[in-house]
Amino acid sequence: MIGIVDYGMGNLHSVQNALRRLEIDHFLSEKKEELVEADALLLPGVGAFKDAMHALKKDGMDGFIVEAVQSGKPILGICLGMQLLFEESEENGLTEGLKLLPGRIVRLPGITSDNTTYKVPHMGWNRMLIQKPETPLLQNLSTDFVYFVHSYFVQTKDRDVLLATADYFEEVPAVVGRGHIFGAQFHPEKSSDAGMEILKNFGAYVERRQQGEAI
């Protein structure tokens, strides 16, 4: 059972609809005492990093998420939810994140060193370049095109957390993770076949862990 964290800043209905179509057991809650019963967490997000962390801290949801993940509970962050997994963000002033993965969230520059310009936000379909094909989320994808909408991206010195990237002005992390921690910068629920397959893979990963399989 996947618990979707409702902290007032997520694309909750579209994520729920996607999980329903895939027949993945889930529930939506803003209460820690309910989410603690979930086998895994899904952290969606739309908006600004600072506002999201303020919302999570308001009722101690930030600490609950960190403790749950550190205890071994899988998590999938989507878009802003993915960015919240990292150490900090420069958006609207430096703000600490959940610190589950190493890296900083910075603004897409829109221009390269050779003066090539790119639109900000990065919006639309782009191809994932899979860096770690053994990643459970990225198994058996029928397509590698997914839908992005973001103005900030992850910079990290630890390439081990880059599971898939996309080319946009430079290398942009598309799927990140380590162990049972996963994040997608794009919106799986809006990414047609690839997105649905990724959500299905996460559901299957959670189920296998519950059954005690070595992953």
User: For the chain, what are the domain ranges?
Assistant: 2-210
Residues with catalytic annotation? Answer: 79, 187, 189
pLDDT in tens, 76-90: 999 999 999 999 999
Percent of the chain with pLDDT over 70: 98
Q: Indicate if the pLDDT at residue 215 is higher than 80.
A: no
C-alpha to C-alpha distance for 113 and 107, rounded to whole angstroms:
16
Per-residue pLDDT, averaged over 1-20, amounts to: 92
Residue 108's pLDDT band (cuts 50, 70, 90): very high
pLDDT at position 117, please? 85
pLDDT at position 113, please? 63
In this structure, of 110-119, 125-134, 146-155, 164-173, the range with the lowest mean pLDDT score is 110-119
Residue 106's pLDDT band (cuts 50, 70, 90): very high
Average pLDDT of the chain? 94
Per-residue pLDDT, averaged over 24-38, amounts to: 97
Architecture of domain 2-210: 3-Layer(aba) Sandwich (3.40)
C-alpha to C-alpha distance for 182 and 178, rounded to whole angstroms:
7
Token pair for residue 119? 């639109």
C-alpha to C-alpha distance for 141 and 143, rounded to whole angstroms:
5
C-alpha to C-alpha distance for 26 and 37, rounded to whole angstroms:
11
Percent of the chain with pLDDT over 90: 86
Cα→Cα distances 15→36, 57, 85, 159, 191, Å: 20, 23, 18, 28, 11
pTM of the model: 0.95
pLDDT at position 196, please? 96
Residue 25's pLDDT band (cuts 50, 70, 90): very high
Q: Indicate if the pLDDT at residue 136 is higher than 80.
A: yes
